Amino acid sequence: MSHDLPDIAAALVARGKGLLAADETPATLKRRFDTVGVPSTEETRRTYRDMLLTTPGVSEFIGGVILQDETIHQQGSDGRPFAKMVSDQGMIPGIKVDAGAKPLAGSPKETVTEGLDGLRERLAAYRDLGARFAKWRGVIHIGDGLPTRICIVANAHALARYAALCQEQGLVPIVEPEVLMDGDHTIERCEEVTSEVLRVVFAALEVQGVALEGMLLKPNMVVAGVDCPVQPDVDEVAFATLRCLRRRVPAAVPGIVFLSGGQTSRLATAHLNAINRLPGSKPWAISFSFGRALQDDALHAWRGREDGVHEGRQAYAQRARLNNAAALGKYTDESEETLFTAGANPRRELHDD
């Protein structure tokens, strides 16, 4: 492992900083744009990313930005490549490198994330383009008889092979095993599955010789399925999530950066804050690597309008600031009052908060 990987990993989560996951594929970003009536073209996607990546002042709250293959090859409106724009602002550019979740042989309702073939060469090329960390997402569904052992082991193996290749090529791997919140499962079931997935993932990382000091873990929080009739409160989610992580994540890992997974922006921030406020040992930085929960306010403020860019930037910067406060355990509900509210968040509130 190259010597600077622990420093890069530590810088990504220093002083409550987290990551902006702006790595939606064109297909996923089209779905997000559809919700605000914006056509998805290479140019509208570029304009949207330009708005986020030129937001002034966010480097106080955001340590790194995860880009997507299309974006890392694009330039901002001032002609600078996006990766350079990110690093010029004092943040670290990263890149999503998996090729997506594909049907799993032997268990067709489940998926295994592909993209290992040719990965060494792609990582080297991305490093030349300025990336210093990478992301790979494995997806685990909870359902009747799911997840299967085949699915957990196959995804853990791929995550570990990816992480080892990243470290060989001088990039910090973000290891993301996501247990989805789709379904009607209880929070107890989510904790049980998340715990088992993390156990198998860390065993695979050890087999592949991944240096824990030079990686970050990007897990789901332990929550009930969106359709579960019994929804836990913020403190219950925080308690179960931290208990699960303490049991499974070695202290040598420098940071845990949660995905938001479909939670509303406000709830994801409240959960992150509550986790950080719990007493007892927390040997890792606990922060965020949110996609939707960092971008939804900004996307709805922007709505594709040229005169929405200022409001979009403001909404993104404020949400980044609130998540930074939450990663330091200093967020209060009242801080939401100052939040820009023109862009209503249309997704359902999973809890009354």
30-42: b or e for each residue (b if 16 or more CB lie within 10 Å)? bebbeebebebee
Is 261 a binder of ligand 13P (CB under 6 A)?
A: yes
Supply angle C-alpha 343, 29, 182, rounded to 5: 85
Q: How far apart are CA 270 and CA 277, in angstroms?
A: 11
Q: CB-wise, 176 or 311, nearer to ligand 13P?
A: 176
Q: CB-wise, 284 or 290, nearer to ligand 13P?
A: 290
Shortest CB 218 distance to ligand 13P, Å: 7
Is 293 a binder of ligand 13P (CB under 6 A)?
A: yes
Length of the chain: 353
Q: How far apart are CA 76 and CA 84, in angstroms?
A: 10
Given a contact cutoff of 8 angstroms between Cβ atoms, the answer to whether 313 and 51 are in contact is: yes
Is 331 a binder of ligand 13P (CB under 6 A)?
A: no
- Rg of the Cα atoms in the chain: 19
User: Both tokens of residue 210?
Assistant: 């991944």
Minimal CB distance residue for ligand 13P: 291
**From 176, 178, 191, 311, active-site residue:** 176
User: Both tokens of residue 114?
Assistant: 């592909």
Amino acid identity of residue 51, one-letter, is: M
Is 137 a binder of ligand 13P (CB under 6 A)?
A: yes
Told to judge if 84 belongs to the known catalytic residues of this protein, a careful annotator would answer no
Q: Which stretch, 103-111, 121-129, 256-264, 319-327, contacts ligand 13P (CB under 6 A)?
A: 256-264
Q: CB-wise, 52 or 259, nearer to ligand 13P?
A: 259
Strand partners, 101: 113
Binding-site size, ligand 13P (CB under 6 A): 10
Binding mask 167-186 for ligand 13P (x = CB under 6 A): ---------x----------
Q: Which residues are known catalytic residues?
A: 176, 218
Residues that bind ligand 13P (CB under 6 A): 21, 137, 176, 259-261, 290-293
